[in-house]
Amino acid sequence: MEELDEEMIQFEKDHPSKKSGASGNGGSMRTVAIALGVAAAALLVALLVMMGKKNALVKDLNIDKQNLTNELVALQADYESLTTTNAAINDSLNVEKEKVGQLIERLQKTEATNRAKIRQYEQELGTLRSIMKGYIRQIDSLNTLNISLRNEATEARREAQESKRQYEDLRTTTDQLSKKASAGAVVKGRGFNLVAINESNKVTDRSSRSRKLRACLSLIENSIAERGWRTVYIRVKGPDDVLLTDDSGKVFTSGGEQMIYSASREVDYQGEEVEICIYFNASQGFEKGKYTVDFYTDETRLGTAEMILK
């Protein structure tokens, strides 16, 4: 700038008549320079403000993502706490728990700035919550029903004992009638089924993916059968026709015969049809071939089922 001023002074000396015009030019250049500097400063301030807002927005979005993650983890814990003796509901609960786990994984892999995906996950969370509320109502209803049925069974047994005392003199006749009715009072089964389950609790026909076997059946309705807790036993045989057990040597008696069984489950039978499933785990895994399962109660053999693993 000093060199420019010196040149202007020398120009004025050489061209006295143009002094006034040169002075005006110098003022214009200074004005332009000042205006450019002010504009640059304003742009810098605006840029800093925009960056600050962006950082604040990203921080808020990350907080929203973490809050959503926390809600999903809490929902997952709520699903884990739901328990019931109903095998079908338990299977459905396992499916929903897997959905929650998969949603958490997808959320963790999604950037917080992807608002569309985050909103989608929030909607899925709402759906999973609604589904869980439905299961809670079902389980509460089943629990209430079971309590009522057990109370009815207790009252029925008390009345039976009272009747026995009152009609002791008719013992002989009663015994004869009981023998005739005993065959019809035996609980029978149907719908026998055997499948293999993988690590995700899904049905598979691959031996390499099989982690446990699920054997299901229904105890059919029998109004004259004794009500109360019954144990259903399964005997699983592999492709070599050898009984599969957990090496604990568990023994039961059915029809007067003692046998070793693979697994068992108790069920509260109240004379109405009830479906149950029994699971068997094999630590050594499962080979290819045909598997068979026989179902028993303490009274009789109920039926059989088979499957083939590839």
The predicted pLDDT at position 14 comes to 55
Say what percent of the chain tops pLDDT 90. Answer: 32
Rounded to 5 degrees, φ, ψ at 83 are -135, 145
Does the pLDDT of residue 18 top 60, yes or no?
Answer: no
Does the pLDDT of residue 273 top 90, yes or no?
Answer: yes
Verdict on whether the full-model pTM lies above 0.75: no
What's the pLDDT tens digit per position in 141-188? 777 766 777 777 777 777 777 777 776 766 665 555 455 456 677 899
Q: Where are the domains of the chain?
A: 29-161, 187-309
Does the pLDDT of residue 3 top 50, yes or no?
Answer: no
Does the pLDDT of residue 75 top 90, yes or no?
Answer: no
Work out the average pLDDT over 120-146. Answer: 78
Does the pLDDT of residue 2 top 60, yes or no?
Answer: no
What's the pLDDT tens digit per position in 196-230? 999 999 999 999 999 999 999 999 999 888 899 99
Please give the structure tokens belonging to residue 87.
Answer: 């095998």
- Spell out the CATH class of 187-309: mainly beta
What's the pLDDT tens digit per position in 104-118? 888 777 876 777 877
Beta carbons within 10 angstroms of residue 110's beta carbon:
15
Mean pLDDT estimate for the chain = 79
Rounded to 5 degrees, φ, ψ at 194 are -135, 125
Confidence category of residue 4, pLDDT binned at 50, 70, 90: very low
